[in-house]
Structure 1
Amino acid sequence: MIIQIKGNVTYPITLDPTVWIFDDRKIKWEDAFSVGYESEVEEDEVTEHNNRIRPPVHNSVTKQNKKDVLNHSYVMPIIEFLGHAEVSNDAKEAILESDTTSTTITLDQLEQSLLLFAVDGSVVKDQGPAHLYFDDGSNREHPIKGIKKIHIQ
């Protein structure tokens, strides 16, 4: 299950959330809406250049780490991928399309969003491949589910 980012971008890209489980940029669900999360993202921006040069899986996974990884739920900041797609400066909003619905949000909201891609170490099966949460947690009870395409306008 994939998610396409297309529209008013220089490089349309395809995301595969099933491979993010061993990506160092992921954030544990329980830490995602904490106060320290924003400063952690700012620190990660410093290493953006390094992430472009080589894949962001720097730490080898031991057996113990693998067990730990497979017991948690994780989100991924979508801003990581919008930078690679190179969103146009005149873009203002994003349409999140699922099989049955479409939801329009501002580009700012999208940039500050998190994609839930793993629940208890497994891919999101219920209306997957990912659920979108705003980083302030305002839609925690009602995330945007079943996203297949993100159309930037």
Structure 2
Amino acid sequence: METIIPIKGKVKYKITLDPGVWIFDDRKVDLNTYFQQEQSQISDLEEYTKSISKHWDREIMEGAVYPPTLKTEVKFQKEKVLTGTFGIPFKPFLENAEPESDAKYVLIECGMEEDVKLTLSEASRVVLGFSKDGKPLTEDGPLHVYYHDGSNSENPIKKVTGFTVE
């Protein structure tokens, strides 16, 4: 099974995706809770500002010393990574490939199964599942594609081998 997934077709930059490294990506989402929570559109600048404000407040209240709670926080995060089910939004990857102005669709290539065609706007809202219970999707992976609303969360698009922008 090939674990490198290309984005090709009518794009300025042909790029490849490696789901094996996404476990370390801060953009990953927990698929067990992602579709239950309300999706809000937060800009990167707003998210950064909130993060810096939280850090600043902590330093003002507690000083620059790391409180003991951070050690348990890190341990919890490590445990979550080893046992969690994760995905990552497709939008940043599609934007980095820069679809050409006449591109309208994204074809999700599914190996021997029937390919799925989505509009560019639909494709930019999907989530790419890359791990289940702390393990990579080796049997029917390396990626599963979930619609933004979770309507196919029980039966995602499986065996994804590539994305072609048309």
Q: Normalized against structure 2, the TM-score is what? A: 0.76
Distance in 1 (CA, whole Å) between partners of 2:39 and 2:32 is: 11
Match of 1:107 in 2: 120
Q: What is the Cα deviation at residue 45 of structure 1? A: 6.8
Distance 1:35 1:62, change over 3 A: closer
| 1:36-58 deviations in Å (ceiling 9; x for gaps) | 3333xx3337679xxxxxxxxxx
Matched positions, count: 139
- Structure of higher CA gyration radius: 2
Distance 1:28 1:13, change over 3 A: same
Letter matched to residue 85 of structure 2: S
1:71 equivalent in alignment to 2:83? yes
Asked if the contact 1:31/1:37 (under 8 Å) is kept, the reply is: no
Letter matched to residue 98 of structure 1: C
Distance 1:10 1:129, change over 3 A: same
Q: What is the Cα deviation at residue 95 of structure 1? A: 1.0
Asked if the contact 1:115/1:130 (under 8 Å) is kept, the reply is: yes
Aligned Cα RMSD in Å? Answer: 2.1
1:130 to 143, 152, 166: 143
1:151 equivalent in alignment to 2:151? no
Letter matched to residue 8 of structure 1: K
Match of 1:52 in 2: none
| Structure 2: segments with no counterpart, 5+ residues | 49-72
Match of 2:51 in 1: none
Distance 1:137 1:64, change over 3 A: closer
| Structure 1: segments with no counterpart, 5+ residues | 49-60
Distance in 2 (CA, whole Å) between partners of 1:19 and 1:140 is: 23
| 1:74-127 deviations in Å (ceiling 9; x for gaps) | 110000101111112221111111221322122121111000101111111221
Poorly superposed stretches of 4+, deviation over 6 Å: none
Asked if the contact 1:21/1:121 (under 8 Å) is kept, the reply is: no
1:19 to 10, 18, 21: 21
- Percent of counterpart pairs with the same letter? 38
Q: Normalized against structure 1, the TM-score is what? A: 0.81
Distance 1:4 1:137, change over 3 A: same
1:8 to 3, 7, 10: 10
Distance in 2 (CA, whole Å) between partners of 1:94 and 1:80 is: 14
